[in-house]
Amino acid sequence: MPFIPEPKEIDALISAARSRELSTYLQTLKETMADPTEAIRLRWIDLNLKENSIVINRPVKNHNPRPVPITNQLVSMLNMLPKKSELVFDTSYARIADRFRNMRKKVASNLQNPRILSITLRTFRHFGATMLYAQTRDILLVKKILGHKKIENTLKYTQLIRFKDDEYETATATDIEEAKQLISSGFEYVTDMNGIKLFRKPKRLVC
């Protein structure tokens, strides 16, 4: 199972980045839950900052293109970056990953927190997906944001949250395909509301 850091550990890394480009890149990973390679491929034309949105138009293999919402904080950070080329982050993945590893080592030492060393660029994606599921209990929403083509790839994030055994997790479906995916994953149909089908299944205690 992927390592999931605490929010303060993720934020410590973003705050410690001296480079505006690196801090913005890490904030982008945190908010969009994009694969690190997808984020480095972002172009200025993929950004709609007036509507607080980024479109992942060049996904990695087995991921779908998708729009993702972003906060005003990230909009401000992106607006402060120089537009040197068509790419938002005018660098290579290898370079930015190397800069991240060097900074991570310093942060772990300064905070005396060895857990920081377990955080990789991909960890930001795992962290975001887990937090989103914990807040919404909507597995299909997490699937859409992550760009997964198969719901089986998304279900692992449900196993990282500890649930009470008397609660339910819920999900919504707007078409037959989404409903079929939910049913195959153990959800049961409850009712329709405003054209949206509601499903639920008991939550499980996860060790």
**Domain termination residue (choose one: 75, 100, 124):** 124
The pLDDT score that the predictor gives to residue 158 is: 66
Categorize the per-residue pLDDT at 109 as very low, low, confident or very high, splitting at 50, 70 and 90: very high
**Domain termination residue (choose one: 101, 124, 147):** 124
For residue 77, the domain's CATH number is 1.10.443.10
Q: In 40-76, which positions are buried (b, 16+ CB within 10 angstroms) versus exposed (e)?
A: bbbeeebbeeeeeebbbeebeeebeebebebeeebbe
Dump pLDDT digits (tens) for 134-148: 888 888 999 999 999
Q: What domain range is 187 assigned to?
A: 164-207
The pLDDT score that the predictor gives to residue 186 is: 75
Q: What is the pTM of this model?
A: 0.78
On whether both 120 and 181 belong to a single domain, the answer is: no
The pLDDT score that the predictor gives to residue 201 is: 78
